[in-house]
Structure 1
Amino acid sequence: MLKDRTDTRAKLWRTASAQRGYFTAAQAKEAGYTYQAQRYHAQHGNWLLVDRAIYRFREFSDLPETGDEHLVRWSLWSKSRAVISHSTALATHDLGTPNPSQIHLTVPTVFRQRSDALVLHHAELAEEHVEQRMGYRVTTPLRALVETAADGVGQDSLDVAVATAIRRGLVTQKELRHAAQQLGPRAELGMERALVAAS
């Protein structure tokens, strides 16, 4: 019996380790924890309840934070369908300032969940526009820049982000202009202003 419990914990630990210690109730169930056992671990402080049906092993909360752990939580909230995007993606790429009160996610057009903590954008993203991180996915620097330009807000921040991305060799002016064209006139206008400011 003890071996069964140890194996169950080890299986869940492997899953959670790839997700910064976070896991869902469904993942715990798949590892062998009944919902009654899940309640027990949450009530006794072995697991931290982060959100409805999302937990984190207590041990991970004692580790030094790297700044993007909370993004794993939102990926799990979306059942791994969301991609970190727009200005939140810029911050993830060190091209902007994080704004925890406005977390931007791009979700599939059929996605229906909502949260007051999120700004949701509905779109179908091509795989070439997405990078895999530990526990979540994020739009590439190129995509993050042009989708932020398409938002039409924070031109000063966009100017700095574009100049930084070009200086670091993450994107070229040609790539930015082409990608902005794909998203429409607002993206083109914002990007052109940013490129002028960067020159």
Structure 2
Amino acid sequence: MARRLASSEQARRLEEWLGSYDFEANPFGECEADREPRLSEYFILTPYYDEILGSADSPRTMVIYAARGCGKTAHRIMVARACRPHTPNSDILAVEYTDFGALPHEMARDPGAVDLRRHLGQILRAGVEAFIEAVVQDPALAVSLTPEWLARLKWLCTQYHFAALGVTALMRRLRALAGGHFAPDWEDFQPG
């Protein structure tokens, strides 16, 4: 179906109409939720939103199937915003797996090379990045990391090549956020 461009007169009339209902922008201006800067202002909670969001007390996997334009991406974005690292007081950590990195190129070269293990590695990398972002944003969480958790975090960073924030920069940031109260044994956290 060809997309019809609106004339300047149509655009002006649409803006006036939206303004008459106190809209500051067109909530249908973007075709994809990923590009909608004001999604949280326009998003309408669906009857299943809370079920999709889930609970930290009884976590479970949720898969949403729907036709194009039914709000799958909008739900993913809004659920992620309701969780850590976007919402620091949440008990749920959102791990979004939407960037497949080099996997499509690997599949083009050798479709058999991309298996479950490769996807799990990408998901774990995204999880490590989300966790570190949550820790960096929440000084109380940073201070609560025990040496055992730091050792786990070190291992995860080493295994999944955490590149967004190097270990040294991470430690400086955690210490700054915690006001000097964050003093793990640096030797235990050095990359092996």
Q: State the TM bucket, normalised to the shorter chain.
A: 0.3 to 0.5
Rg bigger for which structure? 2
**How high is the TM-score relative to the length of structure 1?**
0.35
Larger strand percent:
1
